[in-house]
Amino acid sequence: MQTNQLDFIPILMQVGLAVGFVGATIFISGLLGPKRHSANKDKNFECGIESVGNARIPFSVKYFLVAILFVLFDVEVIFMYPWAVNFREMGIEGLLKMGLFMALLVIGFYYVIKKKGLEWE
């Protein structure tokens, strides 16, 4: 074990302690808390009424499309945060890079519009 590797042991202990504390509290409170299971209790709750039919049915695909596109463009916005912070130091060259990045995504967005992915009715 070289000396520089030895320096990592306190960090590992710290990480172990943190993860261990979180895991332990969840596990112990699970033990402490009383549990009660019965057929009636494990049914899904629909405002106190017998639920009819099954909720796991095939939904129409437009909900999934909207959700995925939202995630996609939301991640794009996250990439803009670091750029927005040091916007002045990066100057024109930064602007061009970010412009290129966004242009690619706009092409994708244009494709979605053309394919009527967000068409609702």
Among 1, 47, 71, 92, contact with other proteins (rule: CB under 8 A) = 47
CA distance 38 to 46: 17
Residues in 7-36 that interact with other proteins by CB under 8 A: 32-36
CA dihedral sign, ordered 60, 62, 68, 70: negative
Which residues 6+ apart lie within 8 Å of 43 measured at CB? 51
Q: Does 5 bind other proteins (CB under 8 A)?
A: no
Question: What are the respective helix, strand and coil percentages of the chain, to the nearest 5?
Answer: 70, 0, 30
Residue 45 as a binder of other proteins (CB under 8 A): the answer is yes
Residue 48 interacts with other proteins (CB under 8 A): yes or no: yes
Q: Does 52 bind other proteins (CB under 8 A)?
A: yes
Task: By CB under 8 A, tell whether 81 contacts other proteins.
Answer: no
Nearer Cβ to other proteins (63/81): 63
| 63 lies in the binding site for other proteins (CB under 8 A) | yes
Is the Cβ–Cβ distance between 115 and 93 less than 8 Å?
Answer: no
Distance of CA 40 to the CA centre of its chain: 33
Measured from the CB atom, the residue of 41 and 88 that comes closer to other proteins is 41
> Which parts of this chain interact with other proteins (CB under 8 A)?
32-36, 38-41, 43, 45-49, 51-53, 55, 57-61, 63
